[in-house]
Structure 1
């Protein structure tokens, strides 16, 4: 943000330098990424939520291919047995920590896409996350695919990042707001000072009012930084009148190199956190849940075989979660059994040694971009030409039928 040359209006403001100003801005939730948009009534009532699962989730122990004859041999300590799983179909079962997701599955409100990946084939968290969020094959591309989408559809959609900064997926030409809770007791005085500081600049004043509108939707009373709390507040923001209709969040902690566990343990705890957060979002959205689709995805999967410390290492193929009331609503209004939630979508490659990618990972058979394109096309009405701009050099990857 450029420094301002406007004269201060009172003695209090004369003593505020740039560092103090940034501290005040942070105190009231105003990111250094100013200016923010002013949310207007959009033409679409549909809501889209993206969740980045940072750290490479082990999809093979989330949606478990219990009927694959090689699964149990690859995971003698961390593998889950069929009787321990929540039933999905004759081949796959769901980790028992995902109880809300399993109920959604039975209600056709969630589908899982297995053996999928981005265009990335290495195993660096940093590069993998960048490619997941910029929607290209180049980790050095600095523009997020959600930002490109917002640029193309600004008359229909507004976005917000529920984050202390602005994640790569939301960075780019379109200006996107971010919100994150704080609990500083001096907040009210700081807000007054910022309001007075901004009043001499029309653009900054309008942007500051926009930020305060977001803040009024949620406040900070009782707001924690835990995922469940953030998801609940995301629902408040998205369901508010004239609020944004696209949000991006993240949940880290999926890097389970050691002591991963099976029914219980590190992965189980992560899945319980994700499951509780998803349930909180649904509850908070209320009736708007019926117009919502969520995608949760990780930068890559983990090795098919457990390692010597009862964990898994960085891999390739993984599973995506696509959920929301809009999937069930569409299912009730279509005669096509393939266009609904309640599915595991997988061109399954198998877990035998000769079928593993580079002899170690679940082989990806589905490009994540096709999954995302399908949701954007069928839920947000984004045309194929716009999808190919959102995901550059992806013309050969067609939208999958997701909804």
Structure 2
């Protein structure tokens, strides 16, 4: 279903602005470009997503879990894509997907909250910025291209800034337990106005928090929703989608596969829903940090450092490629003896991709998105 601006507002989107960043006197020509930032909250395992099967130390470190890549698409002589990402593999073949490996923000202390704050705020230290890199990017775009929305219960840090943005989700649903949600659902059951709105809100929250649910179909529904909010001529041009469930401390083998299946279907549904607009869309997928090289005693991995970022869309400059200054996975090559060592800044990957996408000056983009760099 394609939603008009009015129906979006009636469906419970709230508009908010935060921060006190001075506006830039910078103008650009109107563009049909669209940007989607998908955040993987919980530290996604880049070594499991884009596996370095050509590194002899990989199989030894991952042991039985290394077999999970069997059947995945061979991206090149070094890397194999997780088999749960079949649609994304097709995008890679069509030069519409690029993977940046061994990347990380400047953060190194392995706290989810601090790491996500660094990823979203783009500062040089946790809580050093009260606005986000996407929010600051909006100031570089012409007014007609600044419509931004997050599929999230509140405006995420990444979108905060001087430009007003919207959210599509109930503001307090994550704090409500299942019993309360069930009681409210029953309360609204006979209300012709509130019942469908409440049902939509609950469904949206379920999709965002469990993209791997229902064999990945939750991810597909979330992708369809995202596309429906961007396709209309008066729809959003910039979007952030929150996904959770990437913290795989135990039982990673099945859990990661489910998450990636959901992400894969989210991306595929977004591409299908956008139709011709996919050609002018850039999708960025990133996480706060990666996971350890070695498997722990419960069949999972612990908080690490470098991971993988994904760039997808119909007009990529370097699609069909894995870019990596590969450090190796031998114990002596690891960061602090345990993690994939970062060899490139995630900030530079994001800034370069965004600058090319919008045909903006790369130095101006880097200085705006990451002023502390």
Fold conserved (TM > 0.5)?
yes
* Residues 223, 266 of structure 2: 8 Å contact kept: yes
Per-residue CA shift, 1:250-288, capped at 9, x if unaligned? 110011111111xxx011010001001111101110111
- Residue of structure 1 in register with 2:74 after alignment: 87
Taking only aligned residues, the RMSD between alpha carbons, in angstroms, comes to 2.6
Gaps of 5+ in 2: 1-8, 19-28, 174-184, 208-218
Aligned to 2:244: 252
Distance of aligned partners of 1:358 and 1:340 in 2 relative to their CA distance in 1, 3 Å threshold? same
Following the alignment from structure 1 to structure 2, what is the Cα–Cα distance between the partners of residues 32 and 291?
Answer: 25
Q: Confirm or deny that 1:320 pairs with 2:303.
A: no
Identify if the C-alpha distance between structure 1 residues 89 and 190 changes in structure 2 by more than 3 Å, giving closer, same or farther: closer
Residue 147 (1) aligns with residue 135 (2): yes
TM-score when normalising by structure 2: 0.81
Check whether the contact 1:27–1:190 (CA below 8 A) recurs between aligned residues: no
The residue number in structure 2 matching 1:270 is 259
Matched, 1:378 2:367: no
Residue 188 in structure 1 maps to residue 180 in structure 2? no
Separation (CA, whole Å) in 2 of partners of 1:307 and 1:248: 32
Distance 1:221 1:167, change over 3 A: closer
Shift of 1:229: 1.8
SS at match of 1:358: coil
1:70-101 alpha-carbon deviations (Å, 9 max, x no partner): 11111112113764322111111111000000
Q: 1:222 deviation in Å?
A: 11
Q: How does 1:284-299 map to 2 (within 5 A)?
A: 284-299=273-288
Deviations 1:183-213 (A, max 9, x none): 855363799xxxxxxxxxxxxxxxxxxxxxx
| Partner SS, residue 354 of structure 1 | helix
For the residue of structure 1 that corresponds to 2:67, the secondary structure is: coil
1:341 equivalent to 2:306? Answer: no
267, 287, 292: which one pairs with 1:303? 292
Shift of 1:147: 0.6
2:37 corresponds to which residue? 50
Deviates more, 1:240-249 or 1:120-129: 240-249
TM score, norm. by length of structure 1: 0.75
Distance between the aligned counterparts of 1:221 and 1:59, measured in 2?
31
- How far 1:326 sits from its partner (Å)? 1.6
Aligned length: 323
Deviation at 1:154, TM superposition (A): 4.4
Secondary structure at the aligned position of 1:315 is classed as: coil
Give the match for residue 242 of structure 1: 234
Alignment of 1:159 with 2:148, yes or no, is: yes
Aligned pair partner of 1:60 in 32, 35, 47: 47
After superposing the two structures, state which structure 1 stretch, 135-144 or 179-188, moved more.
179-188
Looking at structure 2, the residues matched to 189 and 276 of structure 1 have their Cα atoms a distance apart, in angstroms, of 30
Distance 1:30 1:240 in 2: 16
- Provide the C-alpha distance between the structure 2 equivalents of 1:180 and 1:137, rounded to a whole number of angstroms: 30
Name the counterpart of 1:388: 367
